[in-house]
Chains A and B, each alone.
Chain A
Amino acid sequence: MNYIDLHAHMVSRTTDDYHAMALTGCVAVTEPAFWAGYDRVSASAFADYFKHLTEFEPQRAAKYGIQHYTWLCLNPKEGEDRELAREVLAIIPQFLDQPTVLGIGEIGLNRVTRNELATFIDHVELALEHNQLIHIHTPHLEDKYKGTKAIVETLASNSRIDPSRVMVDHVEEHTIRMVLEHGFWAGLTLYPMTKVSPGRAIDMLEIYGTERLCVASACDWGPSQPLAIPNCMFEMRRRGHSNQWIHEVVYNNPCRFLSQCPKFKFASLEQPALVR
């Protein structure tokens, strides 16, 4: 069965991972801008990174029949430095017309500071100015509830935001309701230890239904699994869910959200794709 991984930091993965993902039915990935493992100190470092995301990764993925799309921003872990943020925000528009750029992301909060929130708001304004989709990171662990609440309240107070064009990622049991009730899309990221397991993600899909919910691997240089989605699909089958239900989550929903950007080439299907 075909699937789309809506959140994968392929820049930090090997080409072997593209191969394995292609073998398991991955047809497209979307890669939000990422923290490199250290705080970058100049806008030129981001310019190089955005060039990598928009030129090299699409070519590397295409060799395995996978469409690679991307989101651009200064990652929330680097949002504290307001001067750097202003410099990076100034160069983002020159990349927005690239054919694989879907929008602004993953913006959001990390330790929920005043500066992080100011940088988040600047990114949202940039997205509105350029009519871009938005992909949002919510903090991990003890900061998740507080950060998600701050993000949701900030967006809800802005009448120019169309929530159906916003994906709030990394939701968990204590934040999913507030995200869905405000009309946003919600992402369940399958990541060992600090995010959700396949079992818990499936629980939330059963409890809240599949509307406006997607799953993703969030794979990066940390202990993560590029094949997290097919593993979750296996768990869905093992729990007794139908191919149509699984297809809705792993293919149709990403298509529904992402096809709001005309650059995205896939469309949702009513029938399950061919089972591989």
Chain B
Amino acid sequence: MQIEGSCPRSQRELIELEFIEHRTKILDIAAFLDRFDRSVEHNANDDFRIKAFREALKALNSDEFGRVECIQMLLSDVSSELRAERDGQSAYGAAKESEQ
């Protein structure tokens, strides 16, 4: 199985096509973190989701290929035990520490 295929666009073309779009996204992340710091009540700095988010940002800054898969795993429940019963319908977006 092919592990790594090519994108048909050159790096220069990708910058021309997509830089502004992704510049916007990175500014949105920065603004979210600034807003989090400006919050009227600092009561979730140790929330499992924000901790996972900060870990993901470190992985984003990696020089190695495979950043998306790495971040997906940082945001995943990697335990193999089935839940004894359903705890609700919706997922949270990051695994609680007891599930890692």
CB distance from A48 to the nearest CB of B (A): 22
Chain B positions within 8 Å of A203 at CB level: 7, 68
Judge whether B72 and A115 touch: CB under 8 Å.
no
Q: Which residue of A lies closest to B67 (CB)?
A: A173
Give the interface segment out of B26-34, B35-43, B55-63, B86-94: B86-94
Judge whether B95 and A113 touch: CB under 8 Å.
no
Number of A-B contacts (CB under 8 A): 98
Q: Which residue of B lies closest to A35 (CB)?
A: B89
* B interface size (C-beta, 8 A): 36
Judge whether B76 and A112 touch: CB under 8 Å.
no
Interface residues of A in 157-192 (CB under 8 A from B): 172-174, 177, 180-181
Interface residues of B in 3-55 (CB under 8 A from A): 3-9, 13, 17-18
Contact of B64 with A by CB under 8 A: no
Interface of A is mostly: helix
**A-contact bits for B60-100, CB 8 A (1 contact / 0 none):** 00000000110011011111101111111101111100010
Q: Which residue of A lies closest to B69 (CB)?
A: A173
Q: List 28 A-B contacts (CB under 8 A).
A: A35-B89, A80-B85, A80-B86, A111-B86, A112-B77, A113-B82, A114-B83, A114-B85, A140-B91, A141-B91, A141-B92, A142-B75, A142-B94, A142-B99, A143-B77, A146-B78, A146-B79, A172-B72, A174-B72, A177-B1, A199-B18, A200-B68, A206-B6, A206-B8, A207-B5, A208-B5, A238-B17, A239-B17
Could you list which residues of chain B lie within 8 angstroms of chain A, going by C-beta atoms? Answer: 1-9, 13, 17-18, 68-69, 72-73, 75-80, 82-89, 91-95, 99
Sample of 9 further A-B pairs with CB below 8 A, known A146-B77, A207-B3, A238-B17: A80-B86, A114-B83, A141-B94, A142-B77, A145-B76, A145-B77, A146-B80, A181-B1, A239-B8
Could you list which residues of chain A lie within 8 angstroms of chain B, going by C-beta atoms? Answer: 35, 77, 80, 110-117, 139-146, 149-150, 172-174, 177, 180-181, 199-200, 203, 206-209, 238-241
